[in-house]
Structure 1
């Protein structure tokens, strides 16, 4: 199957915002914030706490607004307007990170929270556009291509940043200035590759526009919650998704701490991150191929089993070589489990209400890495071994595997 112009335009949104994901949220801004906060008299402990609060506030805002925004986007003409609005907010706030004076660490947190709102809101509407740019039979292919190119775009953007980092801006920039240029790079990358989606993608499935869209959107959200039992397969999939994606997100967020515990240097951890992204690119495409040859359900089950094996293999995690092996294994299925979950969900939701249902999907994605880190932390404290804490995540994958395994083979029933 060859992707058409509209589908490629949708795919490249994942490429567009990948620079923000890896440069801003993962690799640079956490360190940059702590550096300027401490330079302005904030203790290291307080800087860490404030950073955690900012992330929690951003996550909470997105999670609370997602179902309502999704329901609003389902009305004809609203989805693209909301996508453009939130994405523009994210891009402007990312650029704001680059130009804000280094003395304004409080405003940095505010701007970061707003950038998270724009980034996450944009992803909500982007995900729901999957039902507009593809048929049920095309979803696996297009979703996996989106995730794959997102990983590749993130790698390229990060390599460009690393060139600035290692050359100190070709001999002209301080470390803080390099970080600020990195934020500008992420914003510009986002703008350039967002343009095709704006020009070529349109909303095909929609509800008839109402005279009171805000009130009707709230009403529809509460009706969906009250009558969720009418969508029993969809509801049980969300329960399974919450379990296994919690494990996936926790492995990603806790990997750095676990790596440091066994003596991995910060420079090596950055290299591991790049390798994981590179491995995830072809493997995401592979999962799309696997789903076409077997089924989406089979592909998700395979990915869950791979993650279960990763958790169990963490019990023998002692050396850098062991860490590298597990990182590569994560890369093989990280994109696959996400892209097939998205396409599976897109196939079973009512198409004219896809944004509303992707709002609930977004909530679980945001709150997913809540139980997992607590589980890892408690088990690590009890045993004194972070590798045993990592292995405890197998419980989440077993739960996800069992629940998802009970769902029907045919995922086209919306009832």
Structure 2
């Protein structure tokens, strides 16, 4: 919940780049440290801190989109970012997986393998943030004041107080709250669902990898489609597709169907995330991008518990995890409803 506050601070002139660098540096160091901690409580604390810093860095990263390209290229650049992020994340994932699963064959212990895996991830995170840090220039900003922190709280309060004046933005955030909750819930519960169908840990990891690989060309395709079709139509297409995926999950009872589900998720995951980011960038004030992406982050992270709770409740009542996952369809229906209202709002 600190995201909107920190995001608002980064909107001041010259603040965004150094704060983003600090989040990358601290986050990668915390990730590196996790490989050397053996006590579970200390590991949990470091993990929570690393997760919080990572989430903050994503707010700053997303809010930079309007500074690095023109409005005409927002969709394609956002899609390129997600596409290369998907395929790029596969590399440290595969390297770490190879060390963890095959380390014993070359004399690497389990604990050392985990240390190497965390080190690979930390280095990857830091090194591949450097090109952006080197070239980024904050072109949209608010002029500095004597007390940036106090002013940030004041600005954020005014934004929430005058929400009705930004009806289109807040209708979209409500829509985003529901449909992205459905997306994240499907992703988060995929492991439990696969396990219930009898998939082993290796198969589950491969299914996750397959989703990322499929998401790469799919995100690129949506970026190209956005040059020919209206962004809102493509976002609606993605939400309807996820609605179909949730309904398909109700009848899913074989491992083959689970792999089909993984491919379908990958086909629309990149599109819905990339185009949601670029569309939001278009409708918010450019100089307040950090503040608004902080609010968007709350909608994404804050909704995460809702879908999981709904799936758990329905699964308990029906005795079927398929019915539980199928209940997520309700969130996509609400997302569609509020997104259509967003489109109709000037």
TM-score interval for Structure 1 and Structure 2 normalised by the shorter chain: over 0.9
Structure 2 counterpart of 1:87, from 24, 34, 38 = 24
Aligned length: 346
Alpha carbons 1:73, 1:79 under 8 Å: kept? yes
- Distance (whole Å) between structure 2 residues aligned to residue 406 and residue 224 of structure 1: 21
Deviation at 1:180, TM superposition (A): 1.3
- Asked if residue 358 in structure 1 is aligned to residue 288 in structure 2, the reply is no
Deviation at 1:166, TM superposition (A): 3.3
- Asked if residue 175 in structure 1 is aligned to residue 118 in structure 2, the reply is no
Alpha carbons 2:171, 2:341 under 8 Å: kept? no
- Asked if residue 265 in structure 1 is aligned to residue 214 in structure 2, the reply is no
Deviation at 1:107, TM superposition (A): 1.3
Q: Which runs of 5+ in 1 are unaligned?
A: 1-63
Higher relative contact order (CA 8 A, sep 6+): 2
What SS is found at the alignment partner of 1:75? Answer: coil
Aligned twin of 1:387? 322
RMSD (CA atoms): 1.3
Deviation at 1:151, TM superposition (A): 0.5
Alpha carbons 2:315, 2:324 under 8 Å: kept? yes
Alpha carbons 2:307, 2:328 under 8 Å: kept? yes
Structure 1 counterpart of 2:142, from 207, 211, 216 = 207
- Asked if residue 70 in structure 1 is aligned to residue 7 in structure 2, the reply is yes
- Asked if residue 97 in structure 1 is aligned to residue 30 in structure 2, the reply is no
Structure 1 counterpart of 2:184, from 249, 253, 272 = 249
Aligned twin of 1:23? none
Deviation at 1:251, TM superposition (A): 0.3
Aligned twin of 2:333? 398
Cα deviation 1:144-163 (Å, max 9, x = unaligned): 11111111011111111122
Cα deviation 1:95-143 (Å, max 9, x = unaligned): 111223x2x2221112112211221111110000001011211110011
Bigger mean CA offset, 164-173 vs 205-214? 164-173
Alpha carbons 2:182, 2:328 under 8 Å: kept? yes
Tell me the TM-score normalized by structure 1.
Answer: 0.81
Aligned twin of 1:301? 236
- Distance (whole Å) between structure 2 residues aligned to residue 361 and residue 319 of structure 1: 36
Alignment of 1:30-69 (within 5 A): 64-69=1-6
- Asked if residue 134 in structure 1 is aligned to residue 69 in structure 2, the reply is yes
Alpha carbons 2:76, 2:223 under 8 Å: kept? yes
Alpha carbons 1:89, 1:114 under 8 Å: kept? no
Structure 2 counterpart of 1:371, from 286, 306, 317 = 306
Alpha carbons 1:88, 1:118 under 8 Å: kept? no
- Asked if residue 121 in structure 1 is aligned to residue 46 in structure 2, the reply is no
What SS is found at the alignment partner of 2:227? Answer: helix
